[in-house]
Amino acid sequence: MSNRKINMKEKYRLLTRDLDWEYSYRDYKEVFPQQEFEGIKITDWSKWEDPFRLTMDAYWKYQAEKEKKLYAILDAFSQNNSQLNVTDARYVNAIKLFLTGISPGEHQAAMGFGQVGRQLGGVGARVACQMQAIDELRHVQTQIHAMSHYNKFFDGFQDFSHMHDRVWYLSVSKSFFDDARTAGPFEYMVAIGFSFEYVLTNLLFVPFMSGAAYNGDMATVTFGFSAQSDEARHMTLGLEIIKFLLEQHPDNLPIVQRWINKWFWRGTRMLSLVAMMMDYMLPNKVMSWQEAWEVYFEEAGGSLFKDLARYGIEMPDYAQTAIAEKEHISHQVWSMFYNYGHATAFHTWMPTEKEMDWLSEKYPNTFDKYYRPRFEKWREMEAAGERFYNPTLPMLCQTCQIPMGFTDMEDPTSIFYRQSEYDGERYNFCSDGCKDIFDHEPEKYVQAWLPVHQIYQGNCGGPSMEDVLGNYYKINLGVDNMDFHGSPDEERWNIWHNLQPAEDKLKQAS
């Protein structure tokens, strides 16, 4: 009996059962006040089973090992000036968008799991949330460390935290996490733990990070895969929460299904930015957005939903719309950002001839028919010294906060548009998915901080573009924004590599 080495299952049981206690002088409902208001019914927390059975000692041991590996590579990266080895300086713009748009979401996730973990009555679920909160904090820290190196050499990184709370396109990811964190604890778990982590983060971290490696960016692939090594555990937690809720009480099914529908749609809208990063911002391509979508949503997500069918869970509403959009979304979002390239803290550009050929090959049904002619026109305008910028402010979707630029999959040449009325006001939506979300909780979404409305209401520094973009957003005008061609980033890159811009070559030749 003595000296018996306890096994993993037993250790995990001791951690997650034995550490809890009965609340003898406080009412249970006072200790966990948020557990019931969403309508979720929990009858027995002891049925919670975390398949990874990770104990605290093993957690610290392996997380420390991950950190040591990561920082060894980041040090080597900066000591060797490896920023010079990325494919070309356009690539760095994908990383700017990552740091400003995605990394703050890691911080939001850290706070979210900290808050929600406190509200769950089961100690197994609380321990898992605590570990995930620490993981997410690690992710944001390592991402900021990795990018602080890029900040020394490229424009647009300097005010990422200030920008996150203000800039129009960053409100897409900010509002996504704000929405989740202002929901109840179980909706948060289904939103972030299941719909985002299990169904969608692979699309963000796996093919994009493999692409970073293929573009010579060891820093990004290293923080990306280091973060992703925790994601496998997060995905498992997300799946466990779904199974647990569905096994606890049959009344939970319709609530959980509605959350899955909502957060799948919110997640796919947010990931349309990643679609454009993959197809347009990686000079060396690993796979197209469409291919990534097919492997990680249609195939992996398909298996997942088949497995969950035994609980009565179905594929999310509008999954078919999202599947049809895979051939369009990256081109449409890149068009939006190209249009508003004067209002972004990163550079945009038109693809080269070779890159357009790649897009034609990868998107045989859509690229030549709908997008290539427009892009070629824009390229001609640029060559004639009239690079196109859209001078108006876009109308935003009330739910996802993306400009209204997605088209109708029945007729891909016309913009999709829906409207709802609430309390005498009209609200606009990019899709049926976004409209459904609003219609279910209009009192929540009428409060959305929509960047364009805020500009018109005079809450963003003043009436002129300079006031908003320069003073309020803190974009260095003429430096961080506008086309990549002619940017200080491009100029420095050419000097470092003894490259000459094409125009200079022409001048010398004549």
Partner 1 sequence: MSKAFIALQDNEESHYIVEAIEQDNPTATVIYQPAMIRIENEGRLVINRATVEEKMGRDWEIPALHVNLITLGGNVDEDDDQFSLTWKQ
Ranges within 10-69 binding Zn ion (CB under 5 A)? none
Give the binding range for Zn ion (CB under 5 A) out of 55-63, 138-146, 296-304, 398-406. Answer: 398-406
Dist CA 419 CA 440 (whole Å) = 14
Instruction: Judge contact between 400 and 266, C-beta under 8 A.
Output: yes
Instruction: Judge contact between 137 and 227, C-beta under 8 A.
Output: no
* Angle made by CA atoms 217, 220, 221, in degrees to the nearest 5: 85
**For Fe ion, the closer CB: 142 or 407:** 142
329 is a contact residue toward Zn ion (CB under 5 A): no
Instruction: Judge contact between 334 and 276, C-beta under 8 A.
Output: yes
| H/E stretch holding 428 | strand 425-429
Of 221, 241, 350, 455, the one binding partner 1 (CB under 8 A) is 221
241 is a contact residue toward partner 1 (CB under 8 A): no
**For Fe ion, the closer CB: 229 or 459:** 229
Of 235, 397, 468, 475, the one binding Zn ion (CB under 5 A) is 397
Q: Left, alpha or beta for 481 (phi > 0: left; psi -120 to 50: alpha)?
A: beta
Write each residue from 196 to 215 as x if it is in contact with partner 1 (CB under 8 A), else as -, in one continuous string. Answer: ------x--xx--xxx-xx-
- The label of the residue with tokens 């920008």 reads 163
SS (H, E, C) 114-130: HHHHHHCCCHHHHHHHH
CA-to-CA dists, residue 375 to 356, 502, 503, angstroms: 9, 20, 21
Dist CA 175 CA 349 (whole Å) = 27
Instruction: Judge contact between 241 and 193, C-beta under 8 A.
Output: yes
Write each residue from 45 to 64 as x if it is in contact with partner 1 (CB under 8 A), else as -, in one continuous string. Answer: ------xxxx---x---x--
Give the binding range for Zn ion (CB under 5 A) out of 313-321, 354-362, 393-401, 451-459. Answer: 393-401
**What number of other Cβ atoms are within 10 A of residue 113's Cβ?**
27
81 is a contact residue toward partner 1 (CB under 8 A): no
Q: Left, alpha or beta for 312 (phi > 0: left; psi -120 to 50: alpha)?
A: left
End-to-end CA distance of the chain: 91
Write each residue from 336 to 375 as x if it is in contact with partner 1 (CB under 8 A), else as -, in one continuous string. Answer: ----------------------------------------
**For Fe ion, the closer CB: 136 or 187:** 136
Give the binding range for partner 1 (CB under 8 A) out of 295-303, 337-345, 356-364, 491-499. Answer: 295-303
Instruction: Judge contact between 416 and 430, C-beta under 8 A.
Output: yes
Question: Which of Fe ion, partner 1, Zn ion, none interacts with 51 (beta carbon under 5 to 8 A by kind)?
Answer: partner 1
Rounded to a whole number of angstroms, the minimum distance from the CB of residue 168 to Fe ion is: 24
Question: Which of Zn ion, Fe ion, partner 1, none interacts with 254 (beta carbon under 5 to 8 A by kind)?
Answer: none
106 is a contact residue toward Fe ion (CB under 5 A): yes
Of 90, 139, 164, 285, the one binding Fe ion (CB under 5 A) is 139
Which of 468, 466, 445 minimizes the C-alpha distance to 457?
468
Dist CA 235 CA 217 (whole Å) = 26
304 is a contact residue toward Zn ion (CB under 5 A): no
Ranges within 421-450 binding Zn ion (CB under 5 A)? 430, 434
Dist CA 460 CA 449 (whole Å) = 12
**For Fe ion, the closer CB: 50 or 136:** 136
Of 17, 41, 69, 118, the one binding partner 1 (CB under 8 A) is 69
Write each residue from 215 to 254 as x if it is in contact with Fe ion (CB under 5 A), else as -, in one continuous string. Answer: ----------------x--x--------------------
Rounded to a whole number of angstroms, the minimum distance from the CB of residue 295 to partner 1 is: 9
**For partner 1, the closer CB: 362 or 372:** 362
133 is a contact residue toward Zn ion (CB under 5 A): no
Task: Please give the residue ranges that form the binding site for Fe ion (CB under 5 A).
Answer: 106, 136, 139, 231, 234
